[in-house]
């Protein structure tokens, strides 16, 4: 593992850290990367490695809130969450045959989503589950929804509501309050969600259909922003596309070729980090 400086014509400069193994997951808002061997690397804003730990769990999401890291996933066939602070690590599991996919911080604790499996006289049903937790990850309440195979994939907060992308035969956007009471839901035309990112009252996402889509929370409507084959979202006007085996940066409709293959985008306020693959290594680079 080493830091290197690269001169990139697209940006002024890049400070890069060479990752020791292939990355499989990252936080969308903080330089934290999970490697193939389940080691989590956490960097400061200047890509100095400040913390690393290996977890014996399948991790599906990484969320960072100031000095707290939250991991959600699967351990011993149970819904698993880890809360990591400077002084301690709390790990909790919930239910049997369940899996966590995402978590969000609210004023008095957390809300997490995933699925829980039920056996109804030999009929196995995987149902969307939502959990309300206190600050120490103790379970306050949980609810399950759907009679068809369903999973809570992503959760976003827009006070005073939560917006959850739930996969059934198609993707639903489901609205809850902080007490996990269902408010309403919206059916989309999509079957798969790939990259997804929230900006103010917009949730931007890519799907199995080409293009970049915007779910406007205030209007409860979905708009198509571009028909281009978007790989990764930076903001509504800036994103990375894949075209003829190469990655390009689109910035206000201006198109520029990127030197390396892009494997992820992290945006911490105004600081952009790209996870890249050159001929030999995977890197995380600050621009």
DSSP code string of 220-241? TEEEEEE-S-EEEEEETTEEEE
pLDDT tens over the chain, length 287 residues: 445 444 444 454 579 999 999 999 999 999 999 999 999 999 999 999 999 999 999 999 999 998 899 999 999 999 999 999 988 999 999 999 999 999 999 999 999 999 999 987 778 899 999 999 999 999 999 999 987 799 999 999 999 999 999 999 999 999 999 999 999 999 999 999 999 999 999 999 999 999 999 999 999 999 999 999 999 999 999 999 999 899 999 999 899 999 999 999 999 999 999 999 999 999 999 99
Query: Taking a C-beta distance cutoff of 8 angstroms, is the pair 67, 83 a contact?
Result: no
Cβ neighbours for 255, distance < 8 A, ≥ 6 positions apart: 248, 249
Round the average pLDDT of the chain to a whole number and report it.
93
Query: Taking a C-beta distance cutoff of 8 angstroms, is the pair 84, 68 a contact?
Result: yes
Nearest to 142, CA basis, from 125, 130, 154: 130
Which pLDDT does position 276 carry in this prediction?
Answer: 97
Cβ neighbours for 200, distance < 8 A, ≥ 6 positions apart: none
DSSP at 121? T
Side by side, which strands form the sheet with 254-257?
230-235, 238-243, 246-251, 254-257
Which pLDDT does position 6 carry in this prediction?
Answer: 45
Which pLDDT does position 119 carry in this prediction?
Answer: 82
| C-alpha to C-alpha distances, 71 to 75, 121, 251, 277, nearest whole angstrom | 12, 33, 32, 25
Query: Six-digit token pair at 237?
Result: 């006007």
Which pLDDT does position 7 carry in this prediction?
Answer: 40
Which pLDDT does position 82 carry in this prediction?
Answer: 98
Query: Taking a C-beta distance cutoff of 8 angstroms, is the pair 55, 82 a contact?
Result: yes
Which pLDDT does position 13 carry in this prediction?
Answer: 58
Q: Which residues pair with 32 in a beta bridge?
A: 42
The whole-model pTM stands at 0.92
- Domains (ranges, CATH) in the chain? 1-23+192-287 (no CATH), 55-187 (2.130.10.10)
| C-alpha to C-alpha distances, 259 to 7, 245, 262, 278, 283, nearest whole angstrom | 10, 12, 9, 8, 13
Q: Coil, helix or strand for 200?
A: coil
Q: Which residues pair with 158 in a beta bridge?
A: 161
Task: Quote the strand ranges of 170-237, DSSP E.
Answer: 171-177, 182-187, 193-199, 202-207, 212-216, 221-226, 230-235
Which pLDDT does position 8 carry in this prediction?
Answer: 42
Task: Quote the strand ranges of 28-170, DSSP E.
Answer: 32-35, 39-43, 49-54, 58-65, 68-75, 78-84, 89-94, 98-106, 109-120, 123-133, 139-145, 151-158, 161-167
């Amino acid at each position: 593992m080493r830091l290197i400086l690269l001169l990139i014509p697209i940006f002024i400069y890049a400070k890069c850290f060479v990752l020791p193994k292939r990355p499989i997951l990252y936080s969308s808002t903080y330089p934290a990367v999970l490697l193939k061997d389940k080691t989590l690397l956490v960097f400061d804003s200047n890509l100095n490695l400040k913390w690393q730990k290996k977890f014996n769990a399948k991790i599906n999401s990484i969320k960072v809130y100031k000095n707290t890291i939250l991991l959600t996933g699967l351990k011993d066939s149970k819904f698993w969450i880890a809360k990591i602070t400077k002084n301690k690590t709390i790990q909790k599991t919930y239910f049997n045959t369940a899996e966590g996919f995402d978590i969000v911080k609210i004023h008095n604790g957390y809300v997490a989503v995933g699925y829980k499996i039920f056996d109804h006289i030999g009929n196995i049903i995987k149902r969307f589950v939502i959990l309300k937790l206190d600050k120490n990850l103790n379970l306050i309440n949980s609810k399950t929804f759907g009679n068809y195979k369903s999973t809570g994939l992503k959760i976003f907060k827009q006070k005073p509501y939560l917006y959850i992308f739930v996969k059934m035969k198609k993707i639903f956007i489901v609205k809850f309050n902080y007490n996990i009471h269902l408010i309403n839901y919206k059916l989309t035309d999509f079957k798969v969600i790939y990259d997804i990112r929230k900006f103010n009252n917009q949730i931007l996402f890519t799907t199995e259909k080409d293009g970049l889509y915007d779910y406007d929370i205030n209007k409860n409507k979905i708009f198509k922003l571009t028909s281009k084959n978007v790989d990764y979202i930076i903001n509504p006007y800036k994103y990375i596309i894949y075209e003829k085996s190469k990655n390009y940066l689109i910035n206000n409709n201006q198109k520029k070729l990127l030197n390396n293959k892009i494997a992820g985008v992290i945006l911490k306020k105004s600081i952009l980090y790209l996870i890249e693959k050159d001929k030999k290594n995977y890197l995380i680079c600050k621009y």
